[in-house]
Amino acid sequence: MKIVHMISGGETGGSRKHVVTLLAKLPQEDTCLIVLQEGALAQEARKAGIRVELFEQTSRYDISVLKRIVSFINQEGFDVLHTHGPRANFFGAWMKKRIRSTWVTTIHSDPKLDFMKTGIKGKLFTKLNLLAINRIDYFFAVSERFKENLVSFGIPAEKIQTIYNGIDFSPVTDKQVGLLEEWNLKETDFIMTMVARLHPVKGHDTVFQALKNLNSPNMKLLLVGDGPIKDELVTMVKTMSLENQVLFLGFRKDIPEIYSISHISLLASHSESFPLSLLEAANEEVPIVSTDVGGVNMLIPDQRFGWVVPIKDATSYQVALDQAYAEHRAGTLSEKGVELRNFAKSKYSLDNLAKLTVETYKRIRLM
């Protein structure tokens, strides 16, 4: 069975990691990745031994590449086209009647929230994305909640397979003391790391408010990621007088090393699937404070592994951070990290993800 995945190629978050790590586990002779722009995703995929085909657009509105993609897919005889993200889904909708492949997609985020705070253009793109979704043959949902979302859009439940993210669990990274020195952090600081795009849906403002309320100068927040509201968030930090506690690190590839100096991992999203960043934290034995989104409660079913709080609730987030800090001072927080790694490793491996994905491909081809 020949499989081709398609993604825009500009992603820097969880969907990038998901695609590259999943495809690296599939039979390379029968697997291909189409990207619409050159970038870190394509480079990482090539490094992992994945066949990458670039159909570069002059802009995100350039649809002249569509005919070439259709010709490529049909000539290669791919059995399944697997798209990721709104742009790839829009292309898939145009190509559906022109290709012989079964079309599937993975829903990595809530389609209603993908274009938050982008005005009239965002509303148009949201409608186009929802129209495209209704033409897809089969769906992978990265959490049960996302499956429920799809059902609420009118997608039949039998066309949706819930498939949680997974990673290859590697040995815990040695503590990178050099990063403490680079960022002027002290051994006595309580280091919190939030790996997330700088996007309205990620809830950075909730964390800032909780941090402001706690008023504890040695609580340091490392923000890993880039995105459209960076300037807004920088201004918010200044307005709240948190400049000495919040560090904007931008896009980074050394996530394990950053987690190695972290005491807690944070997620404050308003909507989420099953974040790979939290699995990466679990791999490094870093416990979690997260909002109650997506499949997070499957990874953190109780407080043995971390804290799950309501979305957009800075007070609850503040309480959780305060409890985590208290456990850190008592010397018990690290035990949560060990428990979390053991639990996650038993349930959310990349091998399980790849196995279920291939089994689903075979099943839907027989439908």
> 262: domain range?
177-347
Given a contact cutoff of 8 angstroms between Cβ atoms, the answer to whether 45 and 71 are in contact is no
Answer whether 281's CB lies under 8 Å from 257's CB: no
Residues 6+ apart with CB under 8 A from 138: 102, 103, 104, 105, 159, 160, 161, 360, 364, 367
CB-CB contact of 3 with 79 (8 Å): yes
Read off the DSSP letter of residue 167: B
pLDDT at residue number 86 = 86
- Decide if 306 is inside a domain: yes
Q: Cα–Cα distance between 220 and 102 in angstroms, integer? A: 48
Phi, psi of 110 (to 5 degrees): -75, 115
CA distances from residue 131 to 46, 86, 108, 124, 162 in whole angstroms, order as listed: 32, 11, 17, 11, 21
Residues 333 and 360 in one domain: no
What single-letter amino acid sits at 111? P
C-alpha closest to that of 89 among 52, 129, 141: 129
Residue 55 belongs to a domain: yes
Residue 239 domain flag: yes
pLDDT at 163: 87
User: Cα(339)–Cα(299) distance, rounded to whole angstroms?
Assistant: 11
State residue 3 phi and psi, 5-degree precision.
-125, 135
User: Is residue 171 assigned to a domain?
Assistant: no
| pLDDT at res. 209 | 98
For 38, the enclosing helix (H) or strand (E) is: none
Sign of CA dihedral 190, 195, 199, 201: negative
CB hemisphere CA count around 192 (13 angstroms): 29
- Taking alpha carbons only, the member of 197, 177, 187 closest to residue 85 is 197
Rounded to a whole number of angstroms, the distance between the first and last alpha carbons of the chain is 15
Are 120 and 16 part of one and the same domain? Answer: yes
* Angle at which helices 314-330 and 204-214 cross, to 10°: 60
Q: Assess whether 210 and 134 both reside in one domain.
A: no
What pLDDT was estimated at residue 107? 82
User: What's the whole-model pTM score?
Assistant: 0.74
- Please check whether residue 316 is in contact with residue 310, taking contact to mean a CB–CB distance below 8 angstroms: yes
The answer as to whether 172 is a domain residue is no
Q: Are residues 69 and 214 in the same domain?
A: no
Check whether residue 250 and residue 198 sit in a common domain.
yes
Clarify whether residues 55 and 162 are in a common domain. Answer: yes
| Domain membership flag for residue 99 | yes
pLDDT tens digit at each of 367 positions of the chain: 999 999 998 876 677 888 999 999 999 999 999 999 999 899 999 999 999 999 998 887 888 999 999 999 999 999 999 999 888 999 999 999 999 999 999 987 766 666 556 667 667 767 777 788 889 999 998 888 888 888 988 899 999 999 888 888 999 999 999 999 999 999 999 999 999 999 999 999 999 999 999 999 999 999 999 999 999 999 999 999 999 999 999 999 899 999 999 999 999 999 887 788 899 999 999 999 999 998 899 999 999 999 999 999 999 999 999 999 999 999 999 999 999 999 999 889 888 889 999 999 999 876 6
Residues 190 and 263 in one domain: yes
Please check whether residues 54 and 130 belong to one and the same domain: yes
CATH of the domain at 96: 3.40.50.2000
The pLDDT of residue 121: 64
Tell me which residue has tokens 């990721």. 84
Total domains present in the chain: 2
Domain assignment present for residue 303? The answer is: yes
Q: Is residue 100 situated within a structural domain?
A: yes
311 with 275, same domain: the answer is yes
Residues 8 and 149 reside in one and the same domain? yes
| Whether residue 194 sits in one domain with residue 132 | no
- Report how far residue 223's alpha carbon sits from residue 267's, in angstroms, rounded to the nearest whole number: 11
Q: What share of the chain is helix, strand, coil (3-state, %, to 5)?
A: 45, 15, 35
**Dihedral class, residue 77 (left if φ above 0, else alpha if ψ from -120 to 50, else beta):** left
Phi, psi of 309 (to 5 degrees): -125, 165
Q: Are residues 187 and 64 in the same domain?
A: no
C-beta of residue 291 within 8 angstroms of C-beta of residue 309: yes
